[in-house]
Amino acid sequence: MSVPTGNPIADRRSPQDAEGTLLRLSQITKEYRSDRGKVVRALHEVSLDVRQGEILAIIGASGCGKSTLLRIMAGLDTITSGQAEWSRRPTPGRDIGYVFQEPVLLPWRSVFRNACIAPETLKIPRQRYEPRVRELLGLVGLTDFADALPRELSGGMRQRTSIVRALAHDPMLLLMDEPFGALDQITREKLHDDLLNIWTATGKTIVFVTHSVDEATYLADRVVVLSPRPGRVRAIHDVPLPRPRDARTKLDPRFAEFQAMLRGEL
């Protein structure tokens, strides 16, 4: 599944060469006030590192604060106490790509124009990002739908559009909140491979939230297991599977072993 060199979306940064820590979260606690005025603790003293160039999965039962954790990384939520240290602080709008649980497309914009919103906001010249966006749309099979409106698409196509949108401005960090949750199995597995291709080609740091043990195992370098109410880190595991990964990876006995171990912890 390796992408040939010379791929137009390949980045200057070579993949997986930087081993440093991109983001260090120390003792992060997040509390919010519920509608009835009660203070709810969503995260309790969460500490973890996000390493440069890795794929990190955050897994846990619903209500364990995994989305909140991702939103904190994206700057969409503030922290109540604790510290978030970046080795290189991301510029809002430039360095982060975010895939929401729902596609959140603007219904008046075509697929292509939706995908272009981030580089357009950055005022990058069109000729510099449009070929890239077309390339990405091709990669997820949406070339023929570039001019379609969101209402003309299936749910899976909308979500694929939102993934392209998150990558369009070539962010260093891609954050994804259960991006494949609403998709059917076939589309999901295709997108898994697309994502791995993009990652191999660009060497981005990817953090994603999931409740699928299979997804976490197949995609990630490391898996963070959160336990619920309040969310805290139960364990952090290295995935003992070689890269590149493809259909055969799933036949590896270590694949099933690792999954079984994760299931035991959830």
Partner 1 sequence: MTVRTSAPEPAAPVAARPPAPVGTSRRGRLRLVVKPFVALLYVLVIVGVWGAYQAVADVPRYLLASPAEVGSQLLDLARTGTLWAHLGYTVRNIGVGFALGAVIGAVLGVAVSRSQIVDAMLSPFLVVFQAMPKIALAPMFVLWFGLGLTSQFVLIVSLSFFPILVGTATGLRQVNPAYRDLATIVGLNPVARLFRIDIRAASPSIFAAARVAAVDAMTGAVLAEWISSSRGLGYLLVEANSSYQVPMLMASIVVIVVVGLALYQLVSFVEARALQWRDPVTA
61 lines the binding site for partner 1 (CB under 8 A): no
Q: Cα–Cα distance between 31 and 118 in angstroms, integer? A: 30
Residue 133 in 3-state DSSP? Answer: helix
Judging by DSSP bridges, how do beta strands 205-210 and 55-60 pair with one another? parallel
111 lines the binding site for partner 1 (CB under 8 A): no
| Choice between 106 and 260, CB closer to partner 1 | 106
Among positions 76-95, residues that touch partner 1 (CB under 8 A) are 76, 91-94
Q: Which stretch binds partner 1 (CB under 8 A): 41-49, 69-77, 201-209, 222-230?
A: 69-77
Q: Cα–Cα distance between 168 and 116 in angstroms, integer? A: 6
In a 10 Å sphere around its CB, with 0-12 CB exposed, 13-18 middle and 19+ buried, how is residue 2 labelled? Answer: exposed
Please check whether residue 173 is in contact with residue 207, taking contact to mean a CB–CB distance below 8 angstroms: yes
Please check whether residue 93 is in contact with residue 122, taking contact to mean a CB–CB distance below 8 angstroms: yes
| Choice between 117 and 241, CB closer to partner 1 | 117
- How many residues bind partner 1 (CB under 8 A)? The answer is 26
CB of 44 to partner 1, least distance (A): 24
Q: Which stretch binds partner 1 (CB under 8 A): 12-20, 49-57, 98-106, 197-205?
A: 98-106
User: 10 Å Cβ neighbour count for 50?
Assistant: 21
| Choice between 152 and 257, CB closer to partner 1 | 152
Return residues touching partner 1 (CB under 8 A).
Answer: 71, 74-76, 91-94, 96-98, 100, 102, 104, 106-109, 117-118, 121-122, 149, 151-152, 169
